Amino acid sequence: MDVGKIRKDFPILERVVNGKKIAYLDNGATSQKPRQVIDAIVRYYSEYNANVHRGVHKLSEESTIAYEDARRKVAEFINASEEEIIFVKNASEALNLVMYSYGMANVDAGDRVSISIMEHHSNFVPWQFLAKKKKAKLEFVDIDGDGELAELEKASGSKIVSILHASNVLGTINDAEGICRVAHEGGGVAVIDASQSVPHMPVDVKRMGCDFLAFTGHKMLAPTGIGVLYGRKELLEKMGPFLYGGDMILEVKKEGSKWNELPHKFEAGTPNIEGAIGLGAAIDYLNRVGMEEIRKHEVELITYAIAKMKGEVSIYGPLDARKRTGLVSFNVPGVHPHDVATILDEDGIEIRSGHHCAQPLHDRLGLESSARASFHLYNTKEEVDRLVEGIRKVKKVFA
Amino acid sequence: MSVDYSRIMEIWKNAPNRGEMEDADVVAEGENPVCGDRVRIFLKIRNGRVADASFTGEGCAISIASASLLADYAKGRTMEEMKGLGKEKMMELLGLDLSKNPSRLKCALLPLMAIKKK
């Protein structure tokens, strides 16, 4: 994998911030876009912009083919079938779809719904809402001292077990197959929030055995506003629609309407066509580099980063790089993460600070907030060196 | 430099006026849930003017420095004067330009917003 060549595909990496070339280390929040993705979107608007699934004219046929081709690429990328891929706007919407269309119909008073304490708010708040609404019990799988799931078996017997694949704070890669097994053994369904895993490593829904899988495009080189819900066909067929309106119907009469077939039943209204096409182009890009290669590169980077940062800062999550994704959350003792991020920004080093939409996890760790550096395929060891230099500068400023 | 920390650090290190005031007449509390910053400003009012001011808080250097400076500035002034303070005055006290850093502006204005709510 030639990182130098890859970097040339990302125009934004040439950007200068405060007089310094940027080191973009906030990929956990969103990734940058290669020109192949930008070009695909420009091409769509310059050459064949038209609404999908509507007209019989040339442009509409072309846009429909491109939109559905993107769906095929997503399906192949995670080993699903096309009718199991629903385009949504982001992972939050995907999880809301499961909560409303599956959860509301299948969870009753007294039932259990299990999530983990390390969830991003996107996989926390919808289930909290469902549990309150249905008077169900929301339970939390805890973490151990290494930031890994502890006593997952306790989730067994829940109607829904919804847990993230990789933590956006701890970096922990959870045993998704184990989560699905526990959910199924207790007669429930397994929902996996794969927002932080699909962009960084090979994911196979069949091997995982999940019933639903949610992820978002913008963290995997695609534009914002496009996300994916995978749902097992048998379940999707039984579920009612999430949103009602255009395109999700086969027939509309004054007396009632018939729902469209999968996956269109769940895609009401004109979809994000440019987003889907951009996502398709992003998947082509990731496939060309190879997900195994990307994972290997990130393991190398994170191993290097942890070794260099260990003596400088407090690091959260497992220290074994094989157990985590390419991100590292940390605190400089005695310095608020916002100050860390602002001082790093002065040198063009872009990291995240705050609670990273995981407040319950920060409470569990006894932290108000943390700083986070998160990598992707274009990041380099030199950028890690700049980060470490920046951290030393922070300490000097606050000495 | 995007944000000049030199003056902030000077104040942050000693943080004048830090400490709880048991007999305060006004206690203004501010919280920024996004970053977990929390400040409390204590004011003692005598003859319609702030006779003494202090603060407590946890947060970033900008919010702490801002609370410290604001407590200092409050002394001898009326509540109306304090509530009438604008963002520009706060920036002047801090010696900062955060026009390009809207997220950090919230940190800087947290103590002032707490007083304005009283």
ipTM, two decimals, is 0.83
Asked whether A63 and A52 are in contact (CB, 8 A), the reply is: yes
Q: What angle do CA A239, A243, A246 make, to 5 degrees?
A: 115
Q: How is chain A split into domains, by residue range?
A: 38-287, 291-397
Q: Give the class (CATH, top level) of A38-287.
A: alpha beta
Q: Which residue has the higher pLDDT, A155 or A56?
A: A155
Residues of B in contact with A355 (CB under 8 A): 34-36
Of A336, A345, A362, the CB nearest to B2: A345
Q: Tell me the torsion sign for CA atoms A313, A314, A320, A321.
A: negative
> Active site residue: A299, A335, A357, A367, which one?
A357
Count of domains observed in chain B: 1
C-alpha separations of A71 from A84, A198, A260 in Å: 9, 15, 17
Closest Cα of chain B to A354: distance in Å? Answer: 5
**Shortest CA distance from A371: residue in chain B:** B35
- Residue B86: give its domain's CATH number: 3.90.1010.10
DSSP at A378: T
Asked whether A150 and A144 are in contact (CB, 8 A), the reply is: yes
CB pairs under 8 A between A and B: 48
Strand partners, B41: B28, B55
| pLDDT higher than threshold 50 for residue A99 | yes
Q: What is the pLDDT of residue B2?
A: 60
CB distance A338–B107 less than 8 Å? yes
CB distance B2–A18 less than 8 Å? yes
Tens digits of residue pLDDT in A69-95: 999 999 999 999 999 999 999 999 999
CB distance A346–B61 less than 8 Å? no
Q: What is the pLDDT of residue B102?
A: 86
- DSSP β-ladder status, A189-193 and A212-216: parallel
Q: What is the pLDDT of residue B1?
A: 44
Read off the pLDDT of each residue in A246-263 and give the average, rounded to a whole number.
92
Burial of A382 from C-beta contacts in 10 A (0-12 / 13-18 / 19+): exposed
C-alpha separations of A14 from A219, A285, A298, A368 in Å: 20, 20, 21, 34
| pLDDT higher than threshold 60 for residue A64 | yes
Domain range enclosing B70? 5-116
The CATH superfamily label for domain A291-397 reads Aspartate Aminotransferase, domain 1 (3.90.1150.10)
Establish whether A210 is a catalytic residue. no
C-alpha separations of A326 from A167, A366, A384 in Å: 11, 23, 12
H helix intervals, chain A:
3-8, 35-47, 58-77, 91-97, 104-106, 125-134, 176-185, 205-208, 233-238, 273-289, 291-309, 337-345, 359-365, 381-397
Tens digits of residue pLDDT in B29-41: 999 877 778 999 9
* Alpha carbon distance A30, A7 (integer Å): 16
Output the furthest CA–CA distance in chain A (Å, rounded).
74
- DSSP β-ladder status, A112-116 and A160-164: parallel
Read off the pLDDT of each residue in A252-261 and give the average, rounded to a whole number.
92
Q: What is the pLDDT of residue A67?
A: 97
Tens digits of residue pLDDT in A257-279: 999 999 999 999 999 999 999 99
Tens digits of residue pLDDT in A330-364: 999 999 999 999 999 999 999 999 888 999 999 99
Q: What is the pLDDT of residue B53?
A: 97
Residue B93 token pair: 């006290």
A202 cis-preceded (ω within 30 degrees of 0): no
For chain A, give the percent of residues with pLDDT over 70.
100
Of A18, A368, A398, the CB nearest to B36: A368
Closest Cα of chain A to B55: distance in Å? Answer: 18
- Phi and psi at B39, nearest 5°, equal -135, 150
| pLDDT higher than threshold 90 for residue A153 | yes
pLDDT band per the 50, 70, 90 thresholds, residue A56: confident
Q: What is the pLDDT of residue A358?
A: 92
Read off the pLDDT of each residue in A386-399 and give the average, rounded to a whole number.
96
Alpha carbon B42 to chain centroid, angstroms? 11
| pLDDT higher than threshold 50 for residue A124 | yes
List per-block mean pLDDT (blocks of 10 residues) for chain B, which spans 118 residues: 78 93 96 85 97 95 95 97 95 89 90 94
- DSSP β-ladder status, A189-193 and A160-164: parallel
CB distance A343–B5 less than 8 Å? yes
